[in-house]
Amino acid sequence: MAAKPPRSQRAEPTILDVARRAAVSKSTVSNVIRGVSNVSPETRKRVLDAVAEIGYRPNALARDLVRRRTSTLGLVVGDLANPFYSELAKLVEQHASASGYGVMICNTDGRPESEQRRIGLLLEQRVAGIVMLQFSGDTDVLAAVLRRGVPVVVVSCYEETADCVAVDDERGAELAVAHLLELGHRRIAYVSSATVEPNTDDARRGGYERTLRRAGVEPSPELVLELAPPPWVENDEENPARLAAFLDGDDGPTALFVSNDLVAIEAIDALDGLGVRVPDDVSVVGFDDIAMAGLARLSLTTVAQPRDALARIGAELLVERMESGEDGPPRQVRLDPTLVRRRSTAAPRAPR
Amino acid sequence: MAAKPPRSQRAEPTILDVARRAAVSKSTVSNVIRGVSNVSPETRKRVLDAVAEIGYRPNALARDLVRRRTSTLGLVVGDLANPFYSELAKLVEQHASASGYGVMICNTDGRPESEQRRIGLLLEQRVAGIVMLQFSGDTDVLAAVLRRGVPVVVVSCYEETADCVAVDDERGAELAVAHLLELGHRRIAYVSSATVEPNTDDARRGGYERTLRRAGVEPSPELVLELAPPPWVENDEENPARLAAFLDGDDGPTALFVSNDLVAIEAIDALDGLGVRVPDDVSVVGFDDIAMAGLARLSLTTVAQPRDALARIGAELLVERMESGEDGPPRQVRLDPTLVRRRSTAAPRAPR
DNA sequence: ATGAAAGCGCTAACAG
DNA sequence: CTGTTAGCGCTTTCAT
């Protein structure tokens, strides 16, 4: 007779169900759940029992709606498949969770349109704040978010217009280039790829050029190469070919400063394929110090970023901002990178 | 006089603000926003203009509260720093997003307690469904979730009690071991670590043993090693020592089938440090085919899992389940793994 | 085609 | 110490 009730959502118990079961009012239940106000031990127990018996779970939507604030953070990341970012994402999630926040994650693939759309969705979810690992550089969307009163912290990428925590990219580049200079290299190339945000790339390249100049070496545009972004290894013909051409000739570079470990490792892979030996023929320095850089077989000399500090401070800045509700001026935190010397660098073949 | 109003939450515009601005009722605004019912073109335009003018964004909390269903998914992952899982997470996020779902991410660190707590939070957020990459094996929490009517799909790990999609682990092990047998190996070890879920580990080990037996080789407990989970490389003394002891002696293994690429790569790293050459002295086969396995310097022979298919089918199963609202019997999807032959395997030194 | 009204499940004054 | 009462911002019948 009656149509089969296709209820998939067997109604979740509400605070009212608990109240009835414990023979108290909604508010009392609410009070014991939130652990506020004074509730007599007996009432508390009755309520708690009722909660357990009917398996009640507060509805965060309803709570957040009335409180007009969620405890959810947005985490915007360009490429979760890049170990540097996945490690950072993991750390951020840990800190957020420890501070009582859940995390909605958005992978933007580095596309600004996608970034904007995802951020829009985060806003509709009324996230309490947004952590951006990697940032397209579109200051407008940032401004729009900030204008809405939603705090943003940019992690691992320096950004003027918002709270941010990042390593000193110039200093990092300096460490890398100084190391190469010290080894005797003079023709040092800067190799980057679109995986690195513009801001960051500029700073690293700036540091690279400045350090060269300071050593009396004039940077040459011929020694700058932009590689296609990963999916690296196998099947890809483009980057190896570009690298080959780049290294070709008598005054090709003897060392590569690559703006990011993933690309550095890809470059080494391509070099291997080309029969160019690292570091015998060419030295390579990366940036980030992702876990795999430490593998004996890769042993990539690189500029290490303090990932834990980045994530922790990022979370702290954001939490502080969210919970204080102040929107003072942006706070920039600069962290010091360190050079990790491994076996991808050595003195040049024929130092001059 | 008046205290500085510490309003951080400059009140977001509501549907009512739009209604007033457009001189219509709430319902009408709601109608045009959801694109339903018949709204006269003029009214629609007025509303849309008002929306744009005041920068209105629907409040998903309120919407979801009254609809009694969110469009948020929970993504539970053991270790986001493991490239296999971060790649999977990225793919799942992409599919979810394409189907109109947001993703809350939880890193459990493989700890069941943490898993349970996080899942509890997801439930309070009233997620529409949960994707588990990696699963502690605690069937109880799974059952509890399912009982609440929240669909779950386990991706990359076979699970009887819920929808799942995974490769045929036994078959994968068979591919790996058959490959080694074919090369002439007889003393083939099974190496695993706690990073692999119990279910999965059992299946892979089962396949390993069965394949050996079928070839007339009796599996020996002496040839099974459990390594400590990653944080690999550098600083770690434990695993290299264990490996050294394991390989020691005349009847040590000539080949390792490692249950997971990350551990396989760590093992190779340790082997390198021990002066054991791969594949000359020992062959190594991994499982997963993470991106870095393809690097020339690692060139890890491994059992590839079809990551994209895993993520896509996982998302499809879940979406279907969520949107149909039926809770029929669990559906298990088995995918075929494939062997990727690289240079970490070769004929044994002195075949017998 | 549009509007009025009744909640969704919860918190937060405010009374008792 | 506990209960009553207003909503939070939205969707959704049901009238008009």
Residue B158 CA to residue B135 CA, distance in Å, equals 9
Summarize the confidence of residues A204-224 as an average pLDDT: 96
Contact between residue B201 and residue B173 where contact means Cβ atoms under 8 Å apart = no
Nearest-CA residue relative to C1' of D7: A66
Residue A77 CA to residue A311 CA, distance in Å, equals 13
Summarize the confidence of residues A318-336 as an average pLDDT: 92
Cross-chain residue pair B123–A87, CB shorter than 8 Å: no
Model confidence pLDDT, tens digit, residues A89-132: 999 999 999 999 999 999 999 889 999 999 999 999 999 999 99
pLDDT at B1: 33
A275 at interface of B, judged by CB pairs closer than 8 A: no
Model confidence pLDDT, tens digit, residues B105-141: 999 998 899 999 999 999 999 999 999 998 888 889 9
List, in order, residues 6 or more apart from A267 with CB less than 8 Å away. A191, A227, A239, A243, A256, A258, A284
Nearest to A104 among B58, B103, B118 (CB): B103
User: Is pLDDT of A6 > 70?
Assistant: no
User: Is pLDDT of A3 > 70?
Assistant: no
In B36-185, at which residue ranges do the beta strands (DSSP E only) sit?
72-77, 102-107, 129-133, 152-155, 163-167
Q: Which nucleotide is nearest to A31 (CA to C1')?
A: C11
pLDDT at A2: 31
Model confidence pLDDT, tens digit, residues B17-48: 999 999 999 999 999 999 987 889 999 999 99
Q: Min CA distance, A107 vs chain B (Å)?
A: 7
Lowest-confidence segment of A35-44, A208-217, B224-233, B333-342 by average pLDDT: B224-233
pLDDT at A195: 86
Residue A292 CA to residue A282 CA, distance in Å, equals 20
Question: Which has the higher per-residue pLDDT, A135 or A145?
Answer: A145
Q: How confident is the model at residue A134 (pLDDT cuts 50, 70, 90)?
A: confident
List, in order, residues 6 or more apart from A288 with CB less than 8 Å away. A84, A260, A261, A262, A302, A303, A304, A305
**For helices B261-274 and B238-247, what crossing angle results, to 10°?**
70
Contact between residue B322 and residue B155 where contact means Cβ atoms under 8 Å apart = no
Cross-chain residue pair B123–A57, CB shorter than 8 Å: yes
pLDDT at B110: 86
Q: Model's pTM, two decimal places?
A: 0.93
Task: Collect all residues of chain B within an 8 Å Cβ-Cβ radius of residue A61.
Answer: 61, 64-65, 70, 125-126
A59 at interface of B, judged by CB pairs closer than 8 A: yes
Question: Which has the higher per-residue pLDDT, A178 or B242?
Answer: A178
Residue A312, number of CB atoms within 10 A of its CB = 17
B80 at interface of A, judged by CB pairs closer than 8 A: yes
Cross-chain residue pair A107–B120, CB shorter than 8 Å: no
Q: Which residue of A has its CA nearest to B54?
A: A148
User: Is pLDDT of B279 > 60?
Assistant: yes
Distance of CA B40 to the CA centre of its chain: 47
Q: Which nucleotides of C are covered by protein (CB under 7 A)?
A: 1-13
Model confidence pLDDT, tens digit, residues B292-316: 999 999 999 999 999 999 999 999 9
Whole-angstrom CA distances from A348 to A29, A186, A256, A275, A342 are 74, 9, 11, 17, 15
Residue ranges in A109-257 assigned as alpha helix (H): 112-124, 139-147, 169-183, 198-214, 238-247
User: Is pLDDT of A235 > 80?
Assistant: no
Nearest to A124 among B57, B87, B291 (CB): B57
Q: What share of chain B is helix, strand, coil (3-state, %, to 5)?
A: 45, 15, 40
User: Is pLDDT of A203 > 50?
Assistant: yes
User: Is pLDDT of B192 > 90?
Assistant: yes
Candidates B80, B147, B272, partner chain A, best to mutate (most A CBs within 10 A): B80
pLDDT at A351: 47
Footprint of strand D on the protein (CB under 7 A): A 23-28, 31, 37-40, 42-44, 62, 65-66, 68; B 11-12, 14-16, 26-27, 30-31, 33-34, 56, 58-59, 62-63, 65-67
Q: What is the mean pLDDT of chain A?
A: 91
CA of A70 to C1' of C11 (A): 13
Q: Which nucleotides of D are covered by protein (CB under 7 A)?
A: 1-13
Question: Which has the higher per-residue pLDDT, A56 or A251?
Answer: A56
B273 at interface of A, judged by CB pairs closer than 8 A: yes
Tokens of B212: 């050996």
Summarize the confidence of residues A161-181 as an average pLDDT: 97
pLDDT at A349: 85
Task: Collect all residues of chain B within an 8 Å Cβ-Cβ radius of residue A59.
Answer: 65, 124, 126
Q: How confident is the model at residue B237 (pLDDT cuts 50, 70, 90)?
A: confident
Q: How confident is the model at residue B333 (pLDDT cuts 50, 70, 90)?
A: very high
Q: Min CA distance, B263 vs chain A (Å)?
A: 12
Q: Of A62, A69, A5, which is closest to residue A33 (Cα–Cα)? A: A62
A67 contact to strand C (CB, 7 A limit)? yes
Nearest to B294 among A87, A234, A327 (CB): A234
Q: What is the mean pLDDT of chain B?
A: 91
Element (H, E) at B192: strand B188-193
User: Is pLDDT of B234 > 80?
Assistant: no
CA of B70 to C1' of D3 (A): 32
CA of A67 to C1' of C11 (A): 7
**A&B contacts, CB < 8 Å:** 183
User: Is pLDDT of A46 > 60?
Assistant: yes
CA of B328 to C1' of D9 (A): 35
Q: How confident is the model at residue B3 (pLDDT cuts 50, 70, 90)?
A: very low
Q: How confident is the model at residue A8 (pLDDT cuts 50, 70, 90)?
A: very low
pLDDT at A352: 43
Instruction: Provide the pairing of β-strand B283-288 with A152-155.
Output: unpaired
Q: Which nucleotide is nearest to B37 (CA to C1')?
A: C1
Cross-chain residue pair A105–B103, CB shorter than 8 Å: yes
pLDDT at A36: 86
Task: Collect all residues of chain A within an 8 Å Cβ-Cβ radius of residue B62.
Answer: 65
Q: What is the DSSP string of A253-277?
A: -SEEEESSHHHHHHHHHHHHHHT--
List, in order, residues 6 or more apart from B253 with CB less than 8 Å away. B187, B188, B189, B223, B246, B247, B282
pLDDT at A236: 67
Whole-angstrom CA distances from A278 to A42, A95, A193, B240 are 73, 39, 20, 26
Task: Collect all residues of chain A within an 8 Å Cβ-Cβ radius of residue B261.
Answer: none
Contact between residue B298 and residue B268 where contact means Cβ atoms under 8 Å apart = yes
User: Is pLDDT of A5 > 60?
Assistant: no
Residue A48 CA to residue B241 CA, distance in Å, equals 51
